Structure 1
Amino acid sequence: MRVDFDPENMPAHDFYRLLTSVVVPRPIAWVSTLTADGETANLAPHSFFTVSCVDPPIVQFTSVGRKDSLRNVEETGEFVVNLAPEQLFAEINATATDFPRHEGEFDAVGIAREPSLRVRPPRVAGSPAALECTLHSTLRLGDSTVVFGRVVHAVVSEEALVEGRPDIRMLRPLARLGGNEWSTVGEVSELARQRYQDEPRA
């Protein structure tokens, strides 16, 4: 037996809670931006995040409502997606606080920063990987805005690389689940994708 949920007959927030409990786990884009005057460095986690395109390399995150990350990206055209690592769990959650725009989360939470190579917003020094992005475009959908960023530079900590590739066991990324739930990397399984021409035939 199944229970039906009709988004047309439910408050939007209630259906949002359902969606975010079903679409799991979600990777976290820990987005760093600068205000237009360059005075304040903002940092916020966004769990509506994925890769949009490979060639050219484009990633996307969604701002539900008009948050500081979105305003800064629109005004400066730049941002950094920092991987949200398990060891900074408390700090990542703290940067989701609705600080005033002029009060940067790096300073308010006490997060070490480092300069980026190709864009002005700083990177999180303690994050094992970061994608420096320039704004490609935005798409407004209802109460949300999807931000597409072209990756112009990537950096990965040397200790997180295994045979030249970032290793999930070393990155230890956090993910969002439903409600106030988060998850960490559990058991990792490997299974190669099988090609049609290699499948056994009767």
Structure 2
Amino acid sequence: MKLLPLHRIRHPAPSSSSLTHTTITTTRGLHHSTPSTSKMTAEKKPGAIYAKPLQLQPTVHPDFKTLEASRPPWDASHKLEFVQTAEPAWQFGSGPNPTADLKLLSQSHISIDPYAPGRPLNSNYKLLISAIVPRPIALLSTRSPDGTTTNLAPFSYFGLISHEPPLFAIGFVGSLPTTEGATIKRDSLRNLHETNECVINLVSEDFPEAANSTSIHAPYGLSEWDVSGLTPVYDCETVGCARVREAVFAIEGKVESLKEFESRSTPGKVTSTMAVIEGTRFWAREDSINEERNLLDPKVLRPVSRLGGITYGRTLETFELLRPDFEKDLGGVEGAKKLEPKHVPN
């Protein structure tokens, strides 16, 4: 999968206002639960050869617009295409494909204690968002219980965890607003906690700038819909929140559970909360989904993802791999016996 950094779009995106969305009903009943009230170090072994650590500087953009202007403009002609895998003739037991640099593979790895003495608290954040990539983006729509306040915010601590029932996880920095000593206020989390509902909108190439704008720290009561210019559509069938008209795919959801996690460096302090959301309706733009309503076209979805720092990505190159069959492809137990053992039990 080829991912390219996103730059500012300098051409108008094609209008999709004339396209309609298909709603897809999920039939499983809902079950709601009540929410519960560096320093880099490495132990070096004698005689071992260690590669010099790569000196990566943090991304600092004191004059981002000047830097951005020096980069190539967005190329709308780049479309997603399927290519071969790097080694179509790969065989069982072969290990890495020919793209692997054997010199790099021989380098040592560094063990990192996330709570090593002197390690800055934000080091784990910087490390993990640069390592766990690409991440899909959930543009989360919520509203207050009385419907007078709406919120729209992007989250890349987001993922699919089950299809039956359809479950999604969203991670928040901070605690529930009712937790004693709560200091970090998250409007989306507050609304989820109070209403148990939301809409998850997936971000496509048509509106990453607008989605990013909703990450602004606006005071509670000021709607990010106005900040972004995105269009709220109040036609959801199981929740009162609006979905984003510009989103190719959206999910109505109910809160299945909310779980808080305490800090390991400051015991007793809640520093993060995970929301598990059960999908109750799926909305797919009509040109993106097949007749069976079970497959989206990635060339229409054109998903945008998050990488480290302030970097985003677009998916332009993909390849396919068949899932192997133990008997047919490997040759069963007899075929497995022919492989060179790699694991030696202690």
Report the aligned-residue RMSD. 1.4
What is the CA–CA distance in structure 2 between the aligned matches of 1:24 and 1:194, rounded to whole Å? 25
Unaligned runs of 5+ in 1: none
Tell me the distance in 1 between the aligned counterparts of 2:253 and 2:123: 33
Report the equivalent of 1:113: 232
SS at match of 2:280: strand
- Residue 253 of structure 2 is matched in structure 1 by 133
Instruction: Answer yes or no: is 1:7 the counterpart of 2:114.
Output: yes
Greater C-alpha Rg: 2
Once the two structures are TM-superposed, the CA of residue 122 in structure 1 deviates from its matched residue by: 0.3
d(CA) in 1 for partners of 2:149, 2:229: 14
Counterpart of 1:155 in structure 2 is 283
Could you report, residue by residue, the CA deviation over 1:41-79 in whole angstroms, capped at 9, with x for unpaired residues? 210000011112222111111111241111100000100
- Tell me the CA shift for residue 109 of structure 1: 2.2
1-10 vs 66-75, greater mean Cα deviation: 1-10
Please state whether the residue corresponding to 1:127 is helix, strand or coil.
coil
Report the TM-score, using the length of structure 2 for normalisation.
0.56
The separation in 2 between residues aligned to 1:13 and 1:81, in whole angstroms, is 27
Amino acid at match of 2:259: L
Specify the SS of the correspondent of 2:315: coil
Question: Aligned partner of 1:119: which letter?
Answer: V
| 2:311 aligned with 1:188 | no
Q: Distance in 2 between matches of 1:18 and 1:117?
A: 40
Counterpart of 2:147 in 1: which secondary structure? coil
Q: Is the 8 A contact 1:137 1:149 kept in 2?
A: yes
Post-superposition offset of 1:4: 4.0
Distance 2:330 2:110 in 1: 41
- Tell me the secondary structure at the aligned position of residue 20 of structure 1: helix
Q: 1:86 is matched by which residue type in structure 2? A: E
Percentage of pairs with the same residue: 34
Higher mean C-alpha deviation, range 71-80 or range 111-120 = 111-120
Matched residue SS, 1:135: strand
Gaps of 5+ in 2: 1-50, 52-108, 175-184, 263-270, 336-346
* More strand per residue: 1
Q: Which runs of 4+ in 1 moved over 2 A?
A: 1-6
- Between Structure 1 and Structure 2, the one with more helix by share is 1
What is the CA-CA distance between 1:200 and the residue it aligns to?
A: 4.2
Q: More relative contact order in 1 or in 2 (CA 8 Å, sep 6+)?
A: 2
Q: What is the TM-score when the length of structure 1 is the normalising length?
A: 0.95
Shift of 1:94: 0.2
Aligned length: 202
Secondary structure of 1:160's aligned partner: coil
Q: Distance in 2 between matches of 1:187 and 1:89?
A: 19
